[in-house]
Amino acid sequence: MSSRAHCPCCGAAVAGPAHFEHPGVPRLLNVLAASREEAIAAPLGRLELVECASCGTVFNRAFSGVAYGPDYFVDATLSGRYRAQLDDVSDRLDERISHRRALSIVDVGAGQGSFLKHLAARLGSRLACGRGFDPAFRPASASLPENVEVTSSLLDATSARTITSPVDIVATRHVVEHLQDPVGFLASFRRHIAPPFTLLVETPNVGHTLAHGLLHDFCYEHCSMASEAGLRAALEAAGYDSIEVGTAFDGEYLLAFANATPGGEQKRGDAGANRAAFAGSLAELGDRFAREHRQHLTRTRARGTQAIWGAAGKGALFALLVDPDRDLVDFAIDIHPGKHGSYLPGTGHRVVSPDYAFAAGVRTVWVANPTYAAEITALCAASRSQVDVECVGDRTRPFPPS
């Protein structure tokens, strides 16, 4: 029986059967396994996905929490396409607060400080101070500018006391989708940090996920995937005003800005009027995703060696949904050397470098995240190998050319 009967973003009651269920997917997809045995034995969690009829948010009502620590590994900064995304977010933030000359920013869920480092380089002397908070931060492996500091903890009442100067910007990127209570999380900033400040929120866009047929976006870690209407409702409920919600990264992400002003109160708005109209239902997508992709991979298997390109969350969950027994895909490819030689949790596909894959004669690569398709296609072309590039997702919808 579900303990989550209300949408975490807009608060609407959500009843009835789940729109998609899976008995066991890895609870953490971004923890590297050193052996195939360890990868296959990764702890599992149940997916019981439901879609809010009021705002379009999708959440896992069977979610029971995960523990993040220093073994949690996410770093997309070696990709030029991703660095261009950081440029875009930095520039849009700069435009929002261009009237301020010396900025103090707090990044909640800062990872290894990559966004703060990027802002320091992008804004130059305008960034007076950057503070990050993340329990998965690894101090020994970090290299931060002098005006940037990251603490290996959550932002709470205790850690907030270490912030001794006024804060102009609070940023949280790719955190709210990991939380059962995004409204409470967003509201906590106003308790821990004195308004006024500008809030930046970046999170996956469930509208893009459903419109492009990317079922493998719905990993266990992402327990609440917001729509535009849902994120707006959550920000309103958390007491923010002057809210702007748009998209970034070719629509894959939502990017929101809002103001925290003194005296703002938590409230609940009506998100129903703004609900997005998605092209296909979650239930329909869940019914055909694995079956159709297995058919496609069986067809391309006839060409020879094939691989999944992308050993982060999307690649690992795609492997579990479509190739759990490793009979269609030979290995996973990732450009980050820190992942090479590790294994995808749940299935045990080995992660290799692009050079290894080209030398092994890979004939087909399946791009787990189509946003990177152009970049990956260019890397394959530069290798002078004969490689066909396919994109995971709804085959009836347009993707970058392969």
Same domain, 51 and 197: yes
Read off the CATH number of the domain in which 52 is found. 3.40.50.150
pLDDT value, residue 401: 33
The phi and psi torsions of 43 (rounded to 5 degrees) equal: -60, 140
**How high is the pLDDT of residue 375?**
97
CB atoms within 10 A of CB 272: 15
Q: Which of 280, 296, 316 is at the close of a domain?
A: 280
Domain membership of residue 270 (yes or no) is: yes
Same domain assignment for residues 226 and 336:
no
Least confident of 21-25, 46-50, 263-267, 354-358: 263-267
Let me know if residue 384 belongs to a domain: yes
Is there a domain that residue 144 lies in?
yes
SS3 percent helix, strand, coil of the chain, rounded to 5, is 30, 20, 45
Residues 175 and 256 in one domain: yes
The CATH number of whichever domain residue 335 belongs to comes to 3.40.50.720
Residue 402 lies in a domain: no
60-113 pLDDT tens trace: 999 999 988 778 888 898 999 999 999 999 999 988 887 777 889 999 999 999
- Residues 303, 220 share a domain: no
In this prediction, residue 39 has a pLDDT band, given cuts at 50, 70 and 90, of very high
* Residues 252, 268 within the same domain: yes
Percent of the chain at pLDDT above 90? 79
What residue numbers bound the domain in which 305 lies?
Answer: 282-391
Say yes or no: 174 and 291 in one domain: no
| pLDDT one-digit tens code per residue, 254-299 | 999 999 998 766 565 554 445 554 544 898 899 999 999 999 999 9
Arithmetic mean of pLDDT, 169-189:
96
pLDDT band at 395 (very low <50, low <70, confident <90, very high): low
Q: Which of 263, 280, 297 is the last residue of a domain?
A: 280
pLDDT of residue 279: 41
Radius of gyration of the chain (CA): 21
Q: What pLDDT is recorded for position 102?
A: 84
Domain stops at, among 253, 280, 307: 280
**Do both 256 and 331 map to the same domain?**
no
Mean pLDDT (the chain, rounded): 91
- On whether the CB atoms of residues 44 and 24 are closer than 8 A, the answer is yes
Is residue 124 included in any domain, yes or no? yes
- Can you give the pLDDT at residue 98? 76
- Asked whether residue 372 is domain-assigned, the answer is yes
202-215 pLDDT, tens digit per residue, is: 999 999 999 999 99
Domain count, the chain: 2
Q: Do 192 and 259 fall into the same domain?
A: yes
Would you say residue 397 lies in a domain? Answer: no
Give Cα 127 distance to the centre of its chain: 26
Q: Are residues 98 and 135 in the same domain?
A: yes
Residue 400 located in a structural domain: no
Q: Let me know whether 254 and 311 are in one domain.
A: no
pLDDT (tens digit per residue) in 117-146: 999 999 888 899 999 999 888 888 788 999
The pTM score is 0.92
- The mean pLDDT value for 195-200 works out to 96
**Tens digit of pLDDT for each residue in 298-323?**
999 999 999 999 999 999 999 999 99
Side by side, the strands of the sheet bearing 331-333 are 351-352, 331-333, 306-309, 364-367, 388-391
CA distances, 385 to each of 362, 379, 382, 388, 389 (Å) = 8, 10, 8, 9, 12
> Minimal CA–CA distance to 115: which of 32, 227, 201, 194?
201
Task: Assess whether 193 and 265 both reside in one domain.
Answer: yes
